[in-house]
């Protein structure tokens, strides 16, 4: 939610901020703004709507300034108007602030400021920050001290950055439960809420920790705690290629990312295969030593698409390792009396590594004594740093708001986790493990095969793009795929869709089926194949239109379905990786046909760092 960027020490600052905001726009796109230091003081430009609106205004002049901050907003307090767009300024317009998160005690602080005569111009929780920092500077604090002092008065989750006309080369910022990363450059320094915004300028980053206060000048970065004590934070080099955050000729990031999946899945396996290539051994898990042998149960905690991956993970672990598995929404886990402890492994699954609910669940489980193994995509994110071990999905930057390659790399990571645990705990012998590793290594080719059917999926999508509702059915490891297919369609095409376990249909949802209801059924070979065929019959008997995901050349399914979305034939366990591809494509092509904004669906934002 909300993207923030700051730079000090680079000519053409307004352009650099805009470019940074472009790569952060997936975090929110309700309004955007910048505040840039100039010889005449702070120049603040803000516009409601997509970044293009701000771009249009800034294009009227040459890039200007060397130091400034920029923001792209996902509205929480106050509608997406110009008045509520960040940066927010103090009365004399000498201090400007951008903020990501929610300040829970903003009403009390606002009342206090109003009582002191401050006039507010917006409905946001953020504006108080500009006035409070301004007051502290008036009282003699420097920018860092003022920022630290104000942070000490806040409840909630936030990262914010400040510039002051009195310190034309300085940026100050603080992090508290919302991501903030510094970029260390040559004669220039940067800050951003996400690594991709820093990559065009530097690969050397310093992730801040909660309650760190940073002061940046072109030549120096100082980090203190809120009491002003200097703290040292490790500097890391990120090897993501900046080219990967560009569209590279695609109309949408989502399609680029769908097509990147085979390579991303293969990259996620790299480093986890033993030298002979026959066994999975995840090096990160070695850190847990004997604790893995003593596990009695496992819980996945995640949100949204990552939660769907957890459901597939349950299938893998229960089948291959034989320990009981729960899959919890992080937002539910955190508000229950959950049983943590040394024998209970908790596995947060998160692309961003910053989702607030997932992070709170992680911390709660850790505090209860559970070992934590995260499945995470963004290196140096909070989940990566705070876990006992992190299995990195190598999807690279995922920019499309609807998650695709992060999901399939999570599925692979979870399958590898199951194989690794099965090996370490002796649940499967070497021969049984080897039997499963070979198909896993080949799965990327089956995913490529599924992508080759894209034109056929487009034809089907165009025939059903006007449907009002969709039902998605699947069983076993493909039940999460039905949920994921429905979520993708909802998110980017705004068509109402429900995912259901196919066997449950007769307990309720069957009442919805009529001639206007397309029902997407995942019907690839496996233990429940015949059962799924029976479910297809149940739909047809009620005049429902069946769109079946089936193995190439499967005539039994083709004879019963109205439409088929063919995929290469693979082992049942791994079929989820292949079957999700046509469903991602179906959602994409339907949304495209309906003229929807595929990469930036309404109301959504990537990386949900508020509750
Ligand atoms: C859906 C989607 C979201 C995320 C969810 C969790 O396409 O992207 O449902 O999966 O917000 O995000 P992470 O995985 O970053 O914790």
Q: Which of 451, 486, 509 is the last residue of a domain?
A: 451
Average pLDDT (446-465) is 98
| Residue 329 · residue 309 · CB < 8 Å | no
- Verify that 57 and 109 share a domain, yes or no: yes
Average pLDDT (523-532) is 95
Average pLDDT (39-54) is 93
Using the CB atoms, write b or e for 451-483: b if 16+ within 10 Å.
bebbeebbebbebbbebeebbbbbbbbbbbbbb
Q: Which of 451, 473, 505 is the last residue of a domain?
A: 451
Rg of the chain over Cα atoms, rounded to whole angstroms, equals: 25
pLDDT at 567 over 90: yes
Most distant pair of Cα atoms in the chain: their distance: 80
Predicted confidence (pLDDT) per residue in 330-377, tens digit = 999 888 887 889 999 999 999 999 999 999 999 999 999 999 999 999
Residue 606 DSSP one-character state: S
Q: Which residue among the candidates 2, 13, 576, 596 is catalytic per the annotation? A: 2
Predicted confidence (pLDDT) per residue in 28-38, tens digit = 778 999 999 99
Residue with tokens 């939660």: 307
Q: Which of 421, 451, 481 is the last residue of a domain?
A: 451
Average pLDDT (294-314) is 97
Higher-scoring residue by pLDDT: 239, 287: 287
Going from the Cα of 608 to the center of ligand 1, the distance in angstroms, rounded, reads 8
Mean confidence (pLDDT) of the chain: 94
- Verify that 349 and 301 share a domain, yes or no: yes
- Closest ligand 1 atom to 305 CA: 10
CATH assignment of the domain containing 209? 3.60.20.10
**Positive or negative: CA dihedral 539, 543, 545, 548:** positive
- Verify that 209 and 299 share a domain, yes or no: no
Range of the domain at 536: 454-593
- Verify that 218 and 301 share a domain, yes or no: no
Question: With the CA atoms of 136, 141, 147 and 152 taken in that order, what torsion angle do they form, in degrees rounded to the nearest 10?
Answer: -70
User: What pTM was estimated for this model as a whole?
Assistant: 0.84
Asked if residue 340 is part of any domain, the answer here is: yes
| Residue 404 · residue 411 · CB < 8 Å | no
Q: What is the pLDDT of residue 610?
A: 66
pLDDT at 608 over 80: no
Lowest mean pLDDT among 166-180, 266-280, 342-356: 266-280
List the one residue out of 150, 195, 192 whose CA is nearest residue 171.
192
Asked if residue 600 is part of any domain, the answer here is: no
Verify whether ligand 1 is closer than 6 Å to residue 352 (CB atom): yes
List the one residue out of 553, 562, 563, 493 whose CA is nearest residue 524.
553
Q: What is the pLDDT of residue 243?
A: 66
Verify whether ligand 1 is closer than 6 Å to residue 403 (CB atom): yes
| Residue 308 · residue 474 · CB < 8 Å | no
- Verify that 363 and 292 share a domain, yes or no: yes
Asked if residue 585 is part of any domain, the answer here is: yes
Going from the Cα of 13 to the center of ligand 1, the distance in angstroms, rounded, reads 32
> What's the burial of 258, exposed, middle or buried (CB within 10 Å: 0-12/13-18/19+)?
buried
Structurally, how many domains does the chain consist of? 3
596 is catalytic: no
Verify whether ligand 1 is closer than 6 Å to residue 350 (CB atom): yes
Average pLDDT (41-63) is 93
Q: How far apart are CA 30 and CA 47, in angstroms?
A: 9
pLDDT at 305 over 80: yes
CATH assignment of the domain containing 483? 3.40.50.10490
- Verify that 466 and 502 share a domain, yes or no: yes
- Verify that 264 and 399 share a domain, yes or no: yes
**Strand, coil or helix: 202:** coil
| Residue 589 · residue 461 · CB < 8 Å | yes
Instruction: Give, using CA atoms, the residue closest to atom 10 of ligand 1.
Output: 305
- Verify that 441 and 459 share a domain, yes or no: no
Q: How far apart are CA 561 and CA 545, in angstroms?
A: 8
Asked if residue 53 is part of any domain, the answer here is: yes
> What's the burial of 128, exposed, middle or buried (CB within 10 Å: 0-12/13-18/19+)?
buried
Q: How confident is the model at residue 599 (pLDDT cuts 50, 70, 90)?
A: confident
- Verify that 299 and 233 share a domain, yes or no: no
606 is catalytic: yes
Q: How far apart are CA 410 and CA 346, in angstroms?
A: 15
Asked if residue 246 is part of any domain, the answer here is: no
Q: How far apart are CA 210 and CA 229, in angstroms?
A: 14
Asked if residue 605 is part of any domain, the answer here is: no
Q: Which residue among the candidates 256, 314, 490, 606 is catalytic per the annotation? A: 606
Determine which helix (DSSP H) or strand (DSSP E) holds 498, and give its type and residue range: strand 496-501
Cis peptide before 87 (omega within 30 of 0): yes
Going from the Cα of 607 to the center of ligand 1, the distance in angstroms, rounded, reads 7
Going from the Cα of 269 to the center of ligand 1, the distance in angstroms, rounded, reads 22
Average pLDDT (45-58) is 92
pLDDT at 378 over 70: yes
The pair of three-digit structure tokens given for residue 491, joined into one six-digit string: 């998110």
- Verify that 400 and 466 share a domain, yes or no: no
Asked if residue 442 is part of any domain, the answer here is: yes
- Verify that 290 and 372 share a domain, yes or no: yes
Verify whether ligand 1 is closer than 6 Å to residue 544 (CB atom): no
- Verify that 157 and 132 share a domain, yes or no: yes
The pair of three-digit structure tokens given for residue 354, joined into one six-digit string: 């910053």
Asked if residue 608 is part of any domain, the answer here is: no
pLDDT at 246 over 90: no
């Amino acid at each position: 939610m909300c993207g923030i960027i700051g730079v000090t020490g680079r000519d053409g600052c307004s352009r650099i901020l805009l470019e940074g905001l472009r790569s952060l726009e997936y975090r929110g796109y309700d309004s955007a703004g910048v505040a840039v230091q100039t010889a005449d003081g702070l120049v603040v430009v803000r516009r409601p709507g997509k970044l293009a609106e701000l771009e249009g205004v800034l294009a009227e002049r040459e890039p200007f300034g060397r130091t400034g901050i920029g923001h792209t907003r996902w509205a929480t307090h106050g509608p997406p108007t110009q008045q509520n767009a960040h940066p927010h300024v103090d009365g004399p317009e000498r201090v400007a602030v951008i903020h990501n998160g929610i300040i829970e005690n903003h009403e009390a602080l606002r009342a206090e400021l109003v009582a002191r005569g401050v006039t507010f111009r917006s409905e946001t929780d953020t504006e108080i920050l500009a006035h409070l920092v301004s007051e502290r500077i008036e009282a003699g604090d420097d920018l860092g001290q003022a920022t630290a002092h104000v942070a000490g008065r806040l409840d909630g989750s936030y990262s914010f950055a400040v510039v002051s006309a009195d310190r034309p080369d300085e940026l100050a910022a603080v992090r508290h439960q919302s991501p903030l990363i510094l970029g260390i450059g040559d004669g220039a320094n940067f800050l951003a809420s996400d690594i991709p915004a820093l990559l065009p300028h530097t690969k050397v980053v310093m992730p801040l920790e909660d309650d760190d206060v940073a002061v940046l000048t072109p030549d120096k970065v100082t980090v203190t705690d809120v009491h002003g004590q200097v703290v040292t934070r490790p500097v890391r080099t990120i090897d993501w290629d900046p080219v990967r955050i560009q569209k590279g000729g695609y109309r949408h990031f989502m399609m680029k990312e769908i097509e990147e999946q085979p390579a991303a899945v293969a990259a996620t396996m790299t480093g986890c295969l033993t030298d002979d290539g026959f066994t999975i051994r995840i090096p990160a898990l070695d850190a847990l030593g004997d604790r893995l042998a003593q596990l009695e149960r496992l819980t996945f905690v995640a949100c949204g698409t990552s939660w769907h991956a957890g459901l597939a993970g349950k299938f893998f672990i229960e089948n291959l390792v034989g320990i009981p598995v729960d899959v919890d929404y992080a937002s539910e886990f955190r508000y229950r009396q959950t049983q943590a402890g040394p024998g209970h492994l908790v596995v947060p699954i998160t692309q961003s590594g910053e989702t607030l609910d997932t992070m709170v669940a992680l911390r709660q489980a850790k505090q209860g004594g559970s070992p934590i193994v995260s499945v995470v995509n963004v290196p140096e994110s909070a989940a990566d740093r705070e876990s006992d071990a992190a299995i990195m999905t190598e999807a690279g930057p995922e920019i499309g708001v609807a998650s695709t390659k992060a999901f399939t790399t999570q599925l692979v990571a979870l399958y590898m986790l199951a194989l690794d645990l099965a090996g370490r705990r002796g649940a499967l012998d070497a021969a049984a493990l080897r039997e499963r590793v070979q198909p896993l290594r080949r799965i990327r080719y089956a995913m490529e095969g599924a992508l080759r059917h894209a034109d056929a999926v487009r034809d089907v999508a165009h025939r059903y793009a006007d449907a009002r509702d969709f039902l998605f059915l699947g069983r076993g490891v493909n039940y999460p795929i039905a949920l994921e297919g429905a979520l993708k369609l909802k998110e980017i095409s705004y068509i109402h869709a429900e995912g259901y376990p196919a066997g449950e249909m007769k307990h309720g949802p069957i009442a919805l089926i009529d001639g206007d209801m397309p029902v997407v059924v995942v019907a690839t070979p496996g233990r429940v194949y015949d059962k799924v065929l029976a479910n297809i019959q149940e739909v047809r008997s009620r005049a429902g239109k069946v769109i079946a995901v089936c193995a190439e050349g499967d005539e039994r399914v083709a004879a019963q379905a109205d439409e088929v979305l063919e995929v290469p034939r693979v082992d049942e366990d791994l079929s989820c990786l292949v079957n999700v591809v046509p469903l991602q494509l179906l959602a994409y092509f339907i949304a495209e046909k309906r003229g929807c904004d595929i990469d930036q669906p309404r109301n959504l934002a990537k990386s949900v760092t508020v509750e």
